[in-house]
Amino acid sequence: VHSGGNSVSLTTPDSNPAANRTFKLPGADGSSGQFLKTDGSGALSFASETLQGYGVFDAQHGSSAQSVPVTTWTKIELKGEVADLDGLFDHSSTYRYTPQVAGWYYVAFNFIVTGMGGNSHEMYAAIYKNGGTAVKAHGGGRGGYGGFGQADVYGFVQMNGSSDYLEAYGWQNNAASAARSVHTTYTRMLGYLVRRT
C-alpha cells in the first residue's frame, strides 16, 4: 500500500489455471531494460534481451541448370541449400520463402546466366511477394569473362508472418534472341528478419 493510500497487487489469471501455480520472484531487482523470464518451472529471474537471427536463409540454384527463355519472366528454382536456419525456404517444390514472424525482412537475389559470350544483353532480377513484384533491378551490357550476364536486386520487404511469401524471378534478353542457362552456383537468394512488427 502506498503512503497515499493506493496499492499495487499481483493477482490471479482471468481464467482458472489447469493446476495450482507457484512463481518464485527473484531476490533482487534487475537492471534498467531487463525483463522477467521463467525457467519453465516457476522460478523467475531478470535477464537482458539478446539479439538472435531469425529467418536466416541462403539458397542457391543448385546442380541442374535451368533454362530461362528470352523476354520471359521466369521463376528461378533455388534447389540448393546453403543455410536455412529456421526451415522457412521450400527447396523442393515451390521455391518460396515463407517466414512465420511478422516484420521487416532484408532480402537479396543475384541472378546470373551463362552463355552470353560477347553478346549485348539486358537482364532484370526481381523478388516477388505473393506473386507480384516487391523489388526489382536492371542489369545488362556485354557478356564478360566466362560469358556471364548478371542482375542483382536487394531491399526490405514487410511480411505478415503467416501467409506472405517471396520468390525469385529473372528476365533476360540477348542479341542472339536465345534462351540462357541459370548459373548453378552463383545464382542465389538470401534474407533474414531485421525488425519484428
The secondary structure of 76-90 as a DSSP string is: ----EEEEETTS-B-
Handedness of CA 124, 125, 127, 130 (dihedral sign): positive
In this structure, the chain runs to a length of 197
Cα four-point dihedral sign 157, 128, 180, 58: positive
The residue to which cell 530461362 is assigned: 68
147: exposed, middle or buried (C-beta count within 10 Å: 0-12, 13-18, 19+)? middle
Residue 136: band (very low, low, confident or very high) from pLDDT cuts 50, 70, 90 = very high
- Interval 31-87: pLDDT, tens: 988 999 999 999 999 988 765 679 999 999 998 899 999 999 999 999 999 999 999
DSSP state of 33: T
pTM, whole model, 2 decimals? 0.76
Half-sphere exposure in the Cβ direction for 45 (13 Å, CA)? 7
How many helices and strands (H and E) does the chain possess?
A: 0, 13
